[in-house]
Structure 1
């Protein structure tokens, strides 16, 4: 069984450090040593929320993702990353911030759970659920090539106002990242019907248990998403 646990970063330093260690280990496997989402200053940021995935049997964090609420004193990770090549990202975020916005990012999975779809499928759903719980109007993401499709399925659209039609070479010159946004978090009009249904179910039952079929067989998830 996997436990998806949501919390405010400043309320649980121990789990934040486990998240950080796991994230760094994954990045190093891919030869990435400089990426804004892997910095550790977010641990003391009062506007950051975290979702960790805990392997209940092994009692260790095997995956995770963060949600940063936008605040003028705490730039979003994507602002720091994109501003190096396009400073207009600050204006874009400022406009969305008027109706409360933020960014999901720092998504990682340990190789031991590959094939379950935990990050690319389930964690992104949970991030959207968390954003709605925080009364956000919009939600941003800087998507890697392998996560963009899943984000679009869940209601994101490409943010065309920055970069080369929303695209950047990041975090390395041979990797492409795409800025994306959900402009209607309440109704998710651009999401696939099945994704919208799953997200709405989680909104109604933030703390629940479900069993899913995956390429690796049945997967039991216990959600603890209520803040």
Structure 2
């Protein structure tokens, strides 16, 4: 069975190390040697919150994502990745930081869980679930083409004022990334009805067991999303 767990990065160095290795292995396998969100400096950032997909028996980390916050000790990864191409990125982040903002980043899945139909949807859902609790009222994302539609189901919109109608060549010149923003993590007014229902359910009961529906089959997940800023 899979477990989807949230924790503050500085509280669990061992799981952070597993995350870093797993993410690095996936990036290497697709020919990407470095992305800004993969830098391991985040493990010491008190403003970073981590989501890991674990095998409940072996404790192996099979996937994960992070919520990096504007009240941490570093820039958001989207700034490091794109601001040198468009300086307006930092201005945009600064406007959102007034109310508390962050970014979902470093999202990855091993082949094992991908084969089960466990895609970016469940990790994005978990990230949106915990965001408001950790002081993040809006949430950035730098999305690969195949995750844009998933982000939109949670109420994300493309930030067309940045880059080339919201897109940047990143993490290398033959790959495209789209800058997106979820403007309200609390009410997620523009999210699909199913995502609203699941996010609000997880906030109400962050330790629930649930059989999630993927495109391939039902995926039983034990959630552990109770977290404090």
Maintained 8 Å contact 2:104/2:140: yes
Match of 1:28 in 2: 28
Maintained 8 Å contact 2:210/2:220: yes
Q: How much does 1:215 deviate?
A: 4.4
Match of 1:205 in 2: 205
Q: How much does 1:121 deviate?
A: 1.1
Maintained 8 Å contact 2:50/2:66: yes
User: Structure 1 length normalisation: TM-score?
Assistant: 0.96
> Which runs of no fewer than 5 residues in structure 2 stay unpaired?
none
Match of 2:187 in 1: 187
Q: How much does 1:10 deviate?
A: 0.5
* Two-structure CA RMSD over aligned residues (Å): 1.4
Distance 2:13 2:72 in 1: 24
| SS state at 2:208 partner | strand
Q: How much does 1:221 deviate?
A: 0.5
Distance 2:202 2:116 in 1: 19
* Count of residues paired in the alignment: 227
Q: How much does 1:139 deviate?
A: 0.8
Match of 1:57 in 2: 57
**1:167-186 matched pairs, under 5 angstroms:** 167-186=167-186
| SS state at 1:118 partner | coil
Distance 1:193 1:178 in 2: 24
User: Structure 2 length normalisation: TM-score?
Assistant: 0.95
**1:70-149 matched pairs, under 5 angstroms:** 70-71=70-71, 73-149=73-149
Note closer, same or farther for the CA distance 1:13–1:145 as it changes in structure 2 (3 Å cut): same
- What per-residue deviation string (whole Å, max 9, x for no partner) do you get for residues 137-169 of structure 1? 211111111111100111101112211111101
